[in-house]
Amino acid sequence: MLYEAHGIKKFIVVCGYTDLRKGIPGLSQIIEGSYQMNPFERDVLFLFCGRRGDRIKALLWEGNGFLLLYKRLEKGSLAWPRTPNEAVTISKHDYRLLLSGLNPVNLKVQDVYPKTAF
């Protein structure tokens, strides 16, 4: 579900590190307070990443309530944009690149599944 993102019109990546212990109120406050954006905008997916890069949270207003999504990678980490105090709008294609382990803001290949010695 998180990879397909059907019906999402806009993807906003909150760059830098986010304390993923925060829930809906805390993440909404970050969106409003730090970035002067509206967390109640429909069909907009806000994406947050923790320090280790293997966990992300997404916040989506569905019109009658928030949907909070959480994903933890079993192996590897995401190449998350780490520019502090920046929120970047990305395309659906870039969103898929991000979830595949690439940083669409500063595109470079990162090995999501580290190679093992044979």
What's residue 3's pLDDT?
Answer: 58
Query: Torsions phi, psi of 45, nearest 5?
Result: -100, 120
Which region, left, alpha or beta, applies to residue 88 given φ > 0 means left and ψ of -120 to 50 means alpha? beta
Decide if 61 contacts 27 (C-beta within 8 A).
no
Q: How confident is the model at residue 15 (pLDDT cuts 50, 70, 90)?
A: confident
Q: What is the dihedral of CA 20, 26, 30, 32, to 10 degrees?
A: 150
What's residue 106's pLDDT?
Answer: 60
- pLDDT 10s digits, 31-86: 999 889 999 999 999 999 888 888 889 999 999 999 999 988 888 777 777 776 77
Q: Calculate the average pLDDT of the chain.
A: 81
